[in-house]
Structures are given as structure tokens and as C-alpha cells.
Structure 1
Amino acid sequence: MRSFFKYVLATITGIIISTVLLFIIFIGIISMMVSSVGSSTEAVVPTNAVLFIDLNHEITEKSEPNPFENMELPGFVSTKSIGLNDIVSRIKAAKTDGNIKGIYLNVAGAGTGFATLKAIREALVDFKTSDKFIIAYSDGMTQKGYYLNAVADEIYLHPQGSLDFRGLASSVMFFKEALDKVGVEMQVLKVGTYKSAVEPFIMNSMSDANREQVNSYLGSIYGTFLQDISTSRKIAADSLRSIANGYLIREASDAKKYGFVNDLLYKDQVIAKIKAKLGLDDKKDIPTVALLDYKKSADKGEAGGDRVAVLYAYGDIVDGEGVEGQIGGDKLSRELRELRRDDKVKAIVLRVNSPGGSALASESIWREVDLTKKTKPIVVSMGDYAASGGYYISAAADSIFADPTTLTGSIGVFGLVPSFQKLFNTNLGIHFEAVKTAKFADMDVDMDRPLTEEEKTIIQGGVNKIYQVFMKRVADGRKISIAEVDSIGQGRVWTGEQAVKLKLVDRVATLDQAIAAAAKKAKLENYRVSEYPREKDPFATIWSTSKDKIKMWMLEDELGDYVKYLAEVKKITQMSGVQARIPYLVEIY
């Protein structure tokens, strides 16, 4: 008994000490936040300056306040981030800023999708119409890095550097054998020949249908990638394809030989060239301002009066409110209702960047989009993804615009029901026994047995019904037959360029073009563009930061880039209900 009390006392003491330590850390965080908020001022842009862009940070769809961004605490990864909206807006502002004379691109790579890259690229192309210069330089360039750098008037590479150019690839991680080893069986209920989100859990390689669709959309994205580089560098697209096929750029000298860069220079030589363009003496430093610190935004129109609202919807679609980086069905529905009732908002652009998620939440959001269309114009602009549930919530809009490299479609649904029979019974020796008052009372509850054939039939019937509803939403919104939707549906993923030909998308267009189209539908000449949801107060962000996100920050410190695979597995295995979601984690490199 004495030993028992000793352990209890030790436990209570440990809890008290831990609580005190956590409280001290919390007070420290609050203090640093107050300090950072108070000192957050706009960077002064010197005259005759250069805007420095490296994209060596996380790129989100929309900038969100991050109270932990500049804090260095044990267990926290200080990750800087910026939204695509601010990247594009700041490049536009620099175009007309008299103090900014040019842009220095130092982009080695970029951890984002091709639609996001193309949006940044288009902003840089537009910047060049101001007759200001863009110079690009890097020690090494990935294919995504080069895709952006290729816009520059002059591109320079380190003499011993590297430039990656060997074609695009996309790989999938499969878990079936690992699940077999631990004794977990994933039971799949789905509709759609191409609905391959479930394949990593039931197969060890791609199905023929999935390989067909990946080849198709990867080829479409590659075509856009080559054509854009061809236009910038004046190298025929066929020649670019041949260079990649032969892996002819293996050294820095090869990049110069084939016209990918203007010259091979050391950084001091590039600095000298920029100084010459600015008319600076060799002893003077180049006045620079980093994109992250350049707080100026493009003109968003006249203050007050009529508005075009840009409502950002990015991340997985989940039931309820969701957290930052998710599309909560209840939260986005509420945002749409409020914008619909706001008399100053004359048109809405729904900016969608989502691989999909909960079919139920998607249906709720679809309903609000459909109701909104009856009172004011609503246009969809698609980002990297607007697939499955992401397409579901877009289908009712007046018009749908996409980037040529957007991954969309994937009209299909699935459900995953794990069986832990082997894990519990055989591997762990754990058994369950249920007492029930009706035949199906323990369906989906008794985890140590697989579904019966009758139970599978019942669940599959529900999945089939949701697919029929999904197809009807698309058919009604796009004014095509259900048979047509089914023929291009079946879970198949298309690029934006392909989707235009299939009538799933109206045309290839940028977000700015979508805004202009929405204003035109509302018959607006003078208007202001406002972004929603409104930016959170930094203090409120602390309370909304989930414990799961904090744990992922800690894991990222240990696992680096590989943490995304762990996050994806966790995301899939925690899904509940029928899902309208794009296949797994689609990554192109």
C-alpha cells in the first residue's frame, strides 16, 4: 500500500510540474506574439530597388496569420509561408512601384502544384510588360524551379551547378503488403472504374485503368510545361521533348549548350550585372526587398461601394467546421450564406483548391452554391486541384474556369471499412463478442470480423445512391445528360485543359479573368475585390491550432519532406462516411 501511494504521489507531482512548465511556455508564446504584433511594420522599399523572390517557403492558397512563424521553441518548426494570393498581388504591385526597378529570381525549386506555379509565372510575364528587368540565377534548378526561372530576360547558372530537365513523373506509395503483415484488411465499397484512391490499401501496384489516367493527365501537364518553356526560351517544344528523353542536360555546360541559360556565372558576376542595370557603383550594395517583406498589394479597386467577393475554399472537405487548411462543410456553407445576404457583394468567385473529401459536406456546400446562383452570379476558379468533392462543390456555379494543369473531375465515390480480424484474433489474441437486438446492429462496429456479403450489399447500395446524386448535380449544373457525366466520370481525373473539351469546365482562365467574368455577369464597371474568409486575429489562431497540427510540426522536424506521406496515410485511415476524393496524394516532379 505504501508503494501504491508513492507512485500516486509521484504521478500527481509530475502532472503539476508539467502543467507549470506548459503554463510558462504558453506565457512565453503570448509575450512573443505581443512583441511581434507590435513590431510588425511594412518594410520600407528603398529607391532603385530589386524585388528578391526565392520561394524557399511554404506556398498556400491564401495567406493565413501564423503566430508561431518567427518563434523558436523546442519541438516547433519555424515555417514561413505565404499565400498564392499575396505572391501574385505583390508582383503586380511591384510592376507599378516606382521604387522597384526589377526582379531577382533565385528559385531552386518550389514545393507546390503546377497550377500554382503557372499563376506565379503569369504574374511574372505580366510584370515584364512594364519594361522592368527579371534576372534569374541559382546554384541548381529543379524542373519546377526552371519552369519559373525560364520567364526571366536573362538566366544564369553556377558553373558547377545543375539544371534538372528529364521529363515529369508521378509515383504512388502502396501499403497493402504492410497492412497484410500487421493483419489489417481494407474492405472497399466504391463506384468508378478509375476511382483509385483506394488502390494503395488493396493493391501493390497501379491498376491498368489508373495507369491509363495518370499517363493521360501527366502527358497533358507535360505539354503545357514544355510549351510555356518553349515560348519563353524560343526553343521548339519538340526539341525540348527530345532533350528530356535523351537526358542531355547532365552538367551546367549542357544547359548553356542547349540554350536553357544565357551563361554560367558565379554569384558575384550576377550581382555585377544587376548593379550595371541599376547604374550602381561597384562598391555600393544592391537595394533589395524580399517578397515576404514586401507588403504592398495590387490595387483592388475603389473602396466602398459594390464588391466582387473572392471566397477561398482550399484543403480537404470535412464535416463540421474543420480547421485551418480544411474546407469545413458547415463553415463554408455559412460563408456563402453571409455573402449571399450581403447587398454590397454583387458577385462571388469561389476559388477552389481541393482534392475533395466528405460527400455529405460536399452536398451541403453544393446546396449553398446553387441557392447563391439564384440571387447573384457565382463563378468558380480552380487551383491545383478541384477534383471529386472539389468538383462537386463547383458544379452548380454559373461558370467554371480552370488552369490548364488543374487536376479536376474524378466524379466518383468510395468508402473504406477496415477489418482488424487477423490483427486482433491471430496477432494479438484479442477477441470480441457482441450481443445485439437486431441483425445488423453490430455492422461497422464489431472490428474483429469482416463485413458479410449482405452488409457489403447494403453499404454498396448507399455508395451507388450517392454517386447517382453526384452525377445529377453535375448534369444539372453543366447542362449535359447523366449518361454523358457517367461516361467521363467513373472517378477519372482530367486536367483543366482536357476538362474544357469534356464540358466539365467552361474555359482555361486565371483567377483575375474569373473575377472579371463575375463582374461582367453582375454588370459592374467600378467595383472592389474583397477576399474571404476574413483574416483571423493572430491570437485567435492560437486557439484554433489543433493538437494534431502541432504534432505534425514536431514530426516534420524529424522526418522532413517524408512527413507528408505519414499525414496522408493518417488522413485516409481516419475517414468516415462516403468519400468523394481524388486518388491518394498526387505529386508530380
Structure 2
Amino acid sequence: MHFWRSIGTGIKYIWKTINVIREIILNLIFFFTILFFIGLIGLINNPNGLSDTPNSGVLILDLEGVIVDSTSYDQSLYALSKKLNNNSPDPTRQNSLFELTQKIAQATNDPGIEGIILKLDNFAGADLPSLQYLGKYLTAFKAKGKPIYAVGGYFDQKQYYLASLADKIYLVNQGSVSLYGFSTNNFYFKSLLDNLKINTHVFRVGTYKSAVEPFLRDDMSVAAKENTTRWLTTMWNNYLNSIANNRKVEPTNLVPSPEIMLSRLKAVSGSMSEYALENGIVDEVLSSYGADEALNNYFHSAPQVSIYDYQLNPNRMQSFNNQVKSSSKPLIAVVFVDGTISTGESANNVAGSDSITKQLRDIGKNDNIRAVVLRINSPGGGVYASEAIRSEIKVLREKDIPVVVSMGGMTASGGYWIATQSDYIIASPNTITGSIGIFGIIPTFENSLAHIGIHTDGVSTSPLADISVSKDLSDDANQLIQMNIENGYDNFVSLVAESRNMSTEDVDHIAQGQVWLGEEAKQIGLVDKLGDFDDAVKKAASLAGISDYVIDWQKSETSFFASLFADYSAILPKSALEIIYNQLSQSAQLQQHIALWDNLNDPQSRYVYCLNCSDIN
């Protein structure tokens, strides 16, 4: 009886477990169904996605989250996210750089828009080239005689770059402006991997190929520090000169030496707001109410229109949303390579070679597309995936379709591999590029498994046939992989040499994994011109011999469920831990590390990746 009672109890617990799992699944389905119908009702009531907010008055640039080249989320779902999260700001929100600049360009010539107010407290940042590109459109707005004001309780360096373009900066009482310099810090995992008893086999070529250092060291090597110091210092000087020019003050007034800064701060009894006022960093220090009153008086209490509610006119909207199939004008297609380059489909922070090559192949079949602008913002990825995209670009060029590369904040390693096949390369002075090197990484877990009592044994016809993550690599396997890596490096150098009309020796001298800023890359021959996205479009039009054209913004096609869960991840309530994590300075870099590990799918385990090229604070 005791035996059968135990069996019955076991079955009862199993059934309870199954029932709990069933209820969880049903609740999830029910939850997503509710969200779906909420969105559907919204579309029925407002089919064009237009807001009832007036489209005239003062444009409020109240950015939340980050600015990216191409967002993977449906922006209309963020309104629902705000309601689900009690209207709290979302530090993970993605804003399309090109949609923002199109709206500002429209507002520049819109007689209904009187000015712009920058409210940047919830802006989490962007790379410096994106800030400069957005600043170009704000400057054009001012050139039309329309004022820009900035108001905030706190400005970090990325927020302040945009605020420095304003006619006046209002700082709220007890507020501060943080202008201290740039820094970059990396995570290193050697001790962690040792503690987990993971044996990480790394194969590399390039003295400066520091992307693998996190797996081999607990600190940054001297060579990596020298390389990073060079380009980071240049970028900081470019940033400092830009904001000083915007404010029309000396750079040393804005950012003096630490000794002078502390002395001046002591003179105002440690008040950061008074320090900012005394040194010309801001124009006025007011209460929040006083700032609002000053702006209302200046604009005569005109309606305020959020940048999120301000609607593009139909022509611009059709152009941006890729609804140009019926256009009789020639097209310039814009293809995004945004994130870690990997085989498979594109997703958030991942540039899938399958998705991108399909876009390029479809472009080749469209007689109306006369040129391509390849917008690359990537630290690189797998050799196989990078080569797949590069090869597809070659086919386009063989069909006399010119391809111009527009480098974003970063076009490094695998990103540059792809760029070698273009007709022309345009980079921002502050683009992070180069990192021409290659590495292989194969983690094995024999020690981890042995620690918990699991061992692997068997037979094989050759040591090379017995490569497994559960076993250490043999000497023969190590030699095989290293030679393959060296061959990949030689191929990379040859691609660069051929495309840039350089000798392999000259390329090797500037390669070895070294990172360069755009202005340095121009000097050493890795890019053709310093400029921005607009310059790339003009160059593409020139190479195609067209002057009247429409931009065809390519968007990756994703499966229904991938799109569904990507969008709903943007609207689900955020936990306090998630909010804190996303505000950490190293969160973006950690996400890159995770993206790399998630996409270690190169068939030959060869990677052209610059993991230490980002996360600048």
C-alpha cells in the first residue's frame, strides 16, 4: 500500500506541475491577446497612427532612451509602454536617427513650428557621429531664425552636446553639468572562466587585436591601452572643441584641469549649478517653474508638441517607411548593417547576413534602384557572415549599381571587411573604424564537466576528427585552427589592399587589429572622405548619374513571432533591476559580449570583431 500511495503522490505532484505550466502558458497567451486587441483597437480608431496633439507650436525634443540607426521596434507601441509603466521614462527606448532628423528638417520649413525646446533629462545617449548629425539639423533650424532653448536638471556629456547648440541653456536649481572627459572600461573574464574551469582556446593574428583580451586577461594590455588612448584622446578633443565652438567660449573654460575646476567649485561653496553658471556652461539657473515661465513668455504660451507626436507629412512618411514601390523616380536604397554580424536573420543588435543578403539580392532585381548606400554601424562578427554580405555587394557592383558606405559611430573589423567591396567610403571624423585583424575562439568544458563528475572518452580515426567542446584540443587541432586564422588575416589584408590600392605590407602596418578614428583613417587611406550620411547619399546619386530621386529605406523582414516578441518586449513593464542595469555605463558593452557569445556560429570559428571599440562615457 505504501508503494502505491507513493506512486499516487508522485502522479499528483506531476499533474500539479503540468497544471501550473498549463496555466502559465494560457495566461501568457491571454496577456498577449489582450495587448494585441488593444493595439488593434488603437489602429481602428486611429488608422494612420496620427495623434490628436496639434502639429504646430513649439517642438519639444523630449528624447527618451538611445538614438540608433535603425530601430527594431514599432514606435507606435511605445505609447502603450508608457501607459503600462505609469508614464515613467524608458531608458531602453530606441529612436531612429534618420526619422528624428527628417522631423527636424520638416519643422525647419514648417511655418507652424516657432522653435524647439530641448528636454533631455531622459535621453540616454548616442555615439558622437550621431550627435553631430542630429546637431547639423538643429543648426539648420536655428539658421532659419527659429530659436532653440535647452532646459534640464542634469546634463551628462551626450545630453550637453545637444544642449550646447541651444540659444540659451536653463539649468534647474541644484542641477549640474558633468563635463569631465571620455573614458572606456572593459569587462575581463579570465578569473571567471578559470573559476568555472572553462578552457578558452583563442587563436589570433594582430598585435592590437584586443577583442580577445577579456578571455585571456584580467586587465588591458599595454598595447591595447596605447591604441585606445590615442583615438579616445582625439575623440575627446573633437568633442570639446565642438561644444566650445557652439557655446563660443574657450575649451578650458568649459573643462579646465581638475585642480582649477576644484578651486572654482570651492569658490562657490561646492554648488555645481553656480559653478556651471559662473563658467559659462549654462546661461541661467532657475527653478523648474521659473524655467517653464520664461519659455512660456518667450513663445507666448504656444502649444507644445512632443517630437513623438509631431507627424511627418505623407511624402516624407512614405519615403521613410519604405512605401515607394509605385514611385516613378529612380531610387537610392539604404541598407543597414547594424550590430553584431552573424549568420541568420537580423534582430535587435544583430546584423543577420541572411536578411541583409536577401535585401541586396532583391535590390539587384529592381531596375528602379540605381544606387545603394550601405549604412554600417557594427563592431564586426563572423568571417563567414561578413564575407556573405561582401560577396553580395560585389554582385551589385557587377550590375553597375554603385555602392557607397556611410560609416556610423563604428565600422570596425567585420564592418570594414564588408566596406572593402564598396565604390566609396565616407566616415565621420569620430567614427571608430579599422581593427583589421582576426581571431578564433573555442571554449571547451572538460574541466568543468570533470569537476561535477562527468568525463568523455571514445575513439576516432584521427585526432582532427575528435574536436569537441567536452575535450581539450589536440596539438594538431591547435595548429590547424591557427593556420586557418592566419589565412583569414591574409585574406582580410588582401581585400583591403586591393580595394584601397595599397600594398599588403602597407596594410599590414596599419592593420594588426589597430583601431583608428575616421579622421585618422582618412589620412592613412582607409576611407575616401570625411562626411555624414547626407554626403553618402549625394555621392551615390553622383555615381549613378541621377539628381531627382527618392530614398528607399530598407527594413529587414522578420517572422511574425520574432516581430511580435521584439515589439512586446518594448512594452512590457520594466523591473527596477532592469532599469538600473540599462543605466550602467558598461551595460552596452556587456550586451555586446552576450551578443558575441550568442552568435558564435561561424562555421570555422573565425571572427573579425572589435569588442573593445565602444561604450565610451
Aligned residues of 1:65 and 1:541 also touching (Cα < 8 A): no
1:502 maps onto 2:524 in alignment: yes
Deviation readout 1:167-207 (Å, 9 max, x if unpaired): 11111111111221221232210111111111111111111
Aligned residues of 2:402 and 2:540 also touching (Cα < 8 A): yes
Name the structure 1 match of 2:607.
Answer: 579
Name the structure 2 match of 1:34.
Answer: 40
1:287 maps onto 2:303 in alignment: yes
Deviation readout 1:270-310 (Å, 9 max, x if unpaired): 233323332x2xxxx44111112212168569953111111
Name the structure 2 match of 1:513.
Answer: 535
Deviation readout 1:341-388 (Å, 9 max, x if unpaired): 211111111111111101111011111112222311110101111110
**Structure 1 residue matching 2:184: 3-state secondary structure:** coil
Shift of 1:514: 0.9
Distance of aligned partners of 1:397 and 1:516 in 2 relative to their CA distance in 1, 3 Å threshold: same
* AA in 1 matched with 2:25: T
Distance of aligned partners of 1:377 and 1:127 in 2 relative to their CA distance in 1, 3 Å threshold: same
Distance 1:97 1:386 in 2: 35
**Structure 1 residue matching 2:32: 3-state secondary structure:** helix
1:4 maps onto 2:14 in alignment: no
Corresponding residue to 1:304 among 325, 328, 338? 328
Shift of 1:439: 2.3
Aligned residues of 1:432 and 1:446 also touching (Cα < 8 A): no
Distance 1:262 1:546 in 2: 41
Name the structure 2 match of 1:55.
Answer: 63
Name the structure 1 match of 2:370.
Answer: 346
* AA in 2 matched with 1:27: T
Shift of 1:8: 3.2
**Structure 1 residue matching 2:124: 3-state secondary structure:** coil
**Structure 2 residue matching 1:417: 3-state secondary structure:** strand
* AA in 2 matched with 1:582: C
Aligned residues of 1:63 and 1:85 also touching (Cα < 8 A): no
Distance of aligned partners of 1:45 and 1:559 in 2 relative to their CA distance in 1, 3 Å threshold: closer
Distance of aligned partners of 1:68 and 1:42 in 2 relative to their CA distance in 1, 3 Å threshold: closer
Distance 1:308 1:517 in 2: 11
Shift of 1:29: 2.4
Distance 2:199 2:17 in 1: 39
**Structure 2 residue matching 1:476: 3-state secondary structure:** helix
Aligned residues of 2:84 and 2:572 also touching (Cα < 8 A): no
Equivalent positions of 1:400-549 (< 5 A) are 400-425=425-450, 427-443=451-467, 445-447=468-470, 449-533=471-555, 542-543=563-564, 545=566
Aligned residues of 1:311 and 1:348 also touching (Cα < 8 A): yes
CA RMSD of aligned residues (A): 2.8
Name the structure 1 match of 2:95.
Answer: 82
Corresponding residue to 2:155 among 118, 124, 141? 141
Aligned residues of 2:53 and 2:305 also touching (Cα < 8 A): yes
Corresponding residue to 2:165 among 151, 165, 180? 151
Aligned-pair identity (%):
30
Name the structure 1 match of 2:280.
Answer: 259
* AA in 2 matched with 1:21: N
Distance 1:196 1:388 in 2: 12
Q: Number of residues paired by the alignment?
A: 579
Distance of aligned partners of 1:245 and 1:474 in 2 relative to their CA distance in 1, 3 Å threshold: farther
Distance 1:434 1:392 in 2: 40
Corresponding residue to 1:119 among 126, 133, 145? 133
Aligned residues of 1:323 and 1:546 also touching (Cα < 8 A): no
Corresponding residue to 2:145 among 128, 131, 151? 131
Corresponding residue to 1:210 among 205, 224, 233? 224
Moved more, 1-10 or 337-346: 1-10
Gaps of 5+ in 2: 1-6, 266-271
Shift of 1:5: 2.6
Distance 2:291 2:375 in 1: 38
Shift of 1:550: 10
Name the structure 2 match of 1:173.
Answer: 187
Name the structure 2 match of 1:276.
Answer: 297
Shift of 1:312: 1.7
Aligned residues of 1:184 and 1:423 also touching (Cα < 8 A): yes
Distance 1:55 1:77 in 2: 9
Distance 1:190 1:81 in 2: 35
Distance 1:305 1:44 in 2: 33
Moved more, 239-248 or 3-12: 239-248
